[in-house]
Amino acid sequence: MTDEHTTADDGRSPSTANGTPATDGTARERRNGSSLFSAVPDAVSIYEVGPRDGLQNEKVVLPTDRKLELIEGAVDAGISRVEITSFVNPRWIPAMADHMDIASRVKRRPEVQYSALVPNLRGLDGASRAGMTEVAVFLAATDTHNRKNINKTTAEALETYRAVVDEALARGMKVRGYVSCVYGCPYEGTVALEKIKRVADSLLEMGVYELSLGDTIGVGTPRQIEYVSQGLLASGIDLNQIAVHFHDTRGTALANITVALQLGVRTVDSAIGGLGGCPYAPGASGNVATEDVVYMLQGMGIKTGVDLDRLVSISARLGGYLGRELPSKYLKAHLGHSARIGKVV
């Protein structure tokens, strides 16, 4: 076996010997020549959620300097949108207690979009004082999950967030909206499309610029992704307002992302190393790994602007800091290959 580019005649993406996607354009030509992938975008925006959604549920709480290393390393690797922390009461999410330090000390680049989760006006005020120009609000499509998570019904949560979004927009900040439990709720099971539409429409009406549709407990499957996405698009929601956020609990995240891409979705949330979970969703595992997503997209000829080698080196260090093996499949393959050839990651 050599390190020269190889091409396969069986429909697989061309790759190098170590598994890195080839960059000779062959994959893009195949994609453009197939009606199955005719709506797939040429470029996808990776929205990195590891520093917040990824770390909030880890047993080991990383020191602030390590978190900053993760954020700035991801940016160095080409990530241009990153959620860095959550301005939530530390009693509820102890891992995010250093939110003010993170937001104040991070080395911002003008071309990078930094965001922070805010649960209420107090959190918004803290984010504003720390210099954040984008914030995110978060609620589920189901009443039970909202009660468990934020101690409010869906209607009450929407009223709270209306005040938050109004104030954020008045301060010149952008607001992103997370809708969780879109494809299944740990307490209510299957979620009706009407419930999802209600929350989505309400957030957009407030002025949220983008909806991140979350598979909080990782139960979604490809046809379900198609059904929900097309239902929202048919109701008048613009394709550019939709992002997808999958947890890989049952191993379907990449398949679900592929369906979203086939529908034309251009923004994918992911967490470096496959970090994450939800403290209010028993059994939920980590987000889909950023390096797994980037590898797949590059193999499909889709631009991400991300340097995969630099990204995976961050994941390798992160696993050491957390004292556990991270679930990223690309990371495991990369470490295995590096060990075989005697390369230090």
Pairwise CA distance, residues 263 & 182, whole Å = 17
| The pLDDT value given to residue 115 | 98
Residue 59 has pLDDT above 90, yes or no: no
CB-based contact 184:217 (threshold 8 Å): yes
CB-based contact 298:287 (threshold 8 Å): no
How many of the other CB atoms lie within 10 Å of CB of 308?
Answer: 20
Q: At how many degrees (to 10) do helices 222-234 and 253-262 cross?
A: 40
CB-based contact 185:141 (threshold 8 Å): yes
Pairwise CA distance, residues 29 & 32, whole Å = 5
CB-based contact 345:328 (threshold 8 Å): no
Give ∠ CA 10-258-336 in degrees, rounded to 5: 65
Residue 277: pLDDT band (50, 70, 90) is low
CA distances to 132, 231, 344 from 15, rounded to whole Å, are 40, 36, 22
* Nearest to 201, CA basis, from 234, 170, 227: 234
| The pLDDT value given to residue 243 | 98
For the segment 294-306, what is each residue's pLDDT rounded down to a tens digit? 999 999 999 999 9
For the segment 90-103, what is each residue's pLDDT rounded down to a tens digit? 998 999 999 999 99
CB-based contact 180:219 (threshold 8 Å): no
CB-based contact 331:315 (threshold 8 Å): yes
Give φ, ψ of 5 to 5 degrees.
Answer: -60, 140
Domain positions in the chain: 42-307
Helix (H) or strand (E) holding 256: helix 253-262
Helix (H, G, I), strand (E, B) or coil at 140: strand
Helix (H, G, I), strand (E, B) or coil at 154: helix
**Domain 42-307 maps to which CATH number in 3.60.20.10, 3.20.20.70, 3.40.50.150, 3.40.50.300?**
3.20.20.70
| DSSP classification of residue 325 | -
Catalytic annotation on 278?
Answer: yes
For tokens 């917040």, name the residue: 52
Residue 286: pLDDT band (50, 70, 90) is confident
| The pLDDT value given to residue 283 | 55
What tokens were used for 143? 């009443």
Q: Which residues of 76-88 are buried (b: 16+ CB within 10 A; e: fewer)?
A: ebebbbbbbbbbb
CB-based contact 193:234 (threshold 8 Å): no
For the segment 107-138, what is each residue's pLDDT rounded down to a tens digit? 999 999 999 999 999 999 999 999 999 999 99
Q: At how many degrees (to 10) do helices 154-170 and 143-150 cross?
A: 60
* Nearest to 54, CA basis, from 99, 98, 86, 21: 86
C-alpha of 269 from chain center: 2
Q: What percent of the chain has pLDDT over 90?
A: 80
Indicate the burial class of 40 (C-beta count within 10 angstroms; 0-12, 13-18, 19 or more).
buried
Helix (H) or strand (E) holding 303: none
| The pLDDT value given to residue 149 | 84
| The pLDDT value given to residue 150 | 87
The catalytic position among 278, 294, 297, 311 is 278
> Taking every pair of C-alpha atoms in the chain, what is the biggest distance, in angstroms?
61
Mean per-residue pLDDT, 217-231: 97
